[in-house]
Amino acid sequence: MAGAGGGGCPAGGNDLQWCFSQVKGAIDEDVAEADIISTVEFNYSGDLLATGDKGGRVVIFQREQENKSRPHSRGEYNVYSTFQSHEPEFDYLKSLEIEEKINKIRWLPQQNAAHFLLSTNDKTIKLWKISERDKRAEGYNLKDEDGRLRDPFRITALRVPVLKPMDLMVEASPRRIFANAHTYHINSISVNSDHETYLSADDLRINLWHLEITDRSFNIVDIKPANMEELTEVITAAEFHPHQCNVFVYSSSKGTIRLCDMRSSALCDRHSKFFEEPEDPSSRSFFSEIISSISDVKFSHSGRYMMTRDYLSVKVWDLNMESRPVETHQVHEYLRSKLCSLYENDCIFDKFECCWNGPDSAIMTGSYNNFFRMFDRNTRRDVTLEASRENSKPRASLKPRRVCPGGKRKKDEISVDSLDFNKKILHTAWHPADNIIAVAATNNLYIFQDKVN
């Protein structure tokens, strides 16, 4: 199969083919820790693409207007703005360093000419305004053109300042800083569909914020036991429903998902729905609990389904059925026999994310060896693709990859023993309307698109 997940691709018709579009980032073999990409997010229109890294920086790419003289370029993404979102800090009370690493970025729907986004590290969330300036005021009365104040007694005539055109400047300014509300590390932020509030989740608590109020938040979930020795699970991800402003879900390290309704009570410790797949006793092992931990949860754009990612699989749940998922897609089942070595090198704790395409007909998630997986929900077909500079010619088609779990290896198959576990695709994003995907591979951002004939 050449590709998966085409918006409007009929089952059994022409398969969607993915091709290389762009790659951002240095080619150096020695990658600086600060340059490793830690989050990727398209805005609501898909015209802007933001990445955050372990050095606390946010880089925003803007899609160029399509060029009629180059019909196959189809609007490339170029750097629009770069700014330092977070700095390293030190918690003197606990003698702990607070990393500057950006854990999550979430865009707010655009209301005017400026763009707004939320970015968070382990402890502090910031609301950033990204705006353009292409005019400057000249002809002040009280100061010279170089900014120095004039002597009021030497002013003999009044001038009306005028706006003069200047080179386009993109400014990023912090509008709000939401701090001191989380004891543990923040793993999720999610903007509500009312566009006025958002939630932030750490290991044991979820807080509800108003975007205009920084000095207080409401604690809506608290699973911290009175005695920490009784702690059996932690919150791993949380997200608001895309249309119902009172509904949110959070996942746990035990592989369960709880759906809560804020209309029922102020503290949502009692869930409205509880999603859990019963474990097969025959497949239970030492690693069962670790690999069942959910690393990401995402509602579909329609709000009817949600998707969860655990270590070996991605599952699609119907919100009306709590007993089991309606779809289970194996991401890298061939690693089940390697769990012991993956535990020893800590890879078993990697947190892979997942994403939907615009029409909710396909899903994407990452794997090792810079592989990423796509699953077409309509045709039930899947494909493994690779983010690699070796195939980085413009419009070069991506060839499907296959992994040989063991035994005799066929031509074009890759042995599971030769996979590079240091190369991993943890963060991916899908354009909300078009077949354009962004894939973060260590310090490089790959952009792929469907092939246009």
304-317: per-residue pLDDT in tens? 999 999 999 999 99
Residue 73, pLDDT score: 58
3-state secondary structure of 262: coil
Q: With beta carbons less than 8 A apart as the criterion, state whether 239 and 228 touch.
A: no
Supply the pTM of this predicted model.
0.88
Both tokens of 335, joined, read 């690693």
CA distances from 170 to 61, 118, 119, 133 (A): 12, 17, 18, 6
Q: Tell the residue number behind the tokens 């820790």, with chain if given.
A: 33
pLDDT at 239: 98
Among 313, 307, 209, 324, smallest CA distance to 251 is for 307
Residue 67: per-residue pLDDT: 66
Task: Say how far apart CA 305 and CA 409 lie, in whole Å.
Answer: 38
CATH of 18-450, one of 3.30.110.40, 3.40.50.2300, 2.40.30.10, 2.130.10.10: 2.130.10.10
DSSP structure class, residue 340: H
CA 396 to mean position of chain CA atoms? 26
The one-letter amino acid code at 143 reads: K
Residues of the chain with pLDDT under 50: 1-14, 453
Q: Which helix or strand (DSSP H or E) is residue 344 part of?
A: helix 339-344
Q: What is the pLDDT of residues 320-353, one digit of tens each?
A: 999 999 999 999 999 999 999 999 999 999 999 9
* pLDDT value of residue 286: 84
Q: How many residues are listed for the chain in this entry?
A: 453
Tokens of 169: 């400047």
Domain boundaries defined on the chain: 18-450
DSSP string, 137-160: EE--SSB-TTSPBPPGGG--S---
Amino acid at 341: S
Report the Cα–Cα distance between both ends of the chain, in Å, rounded: 17
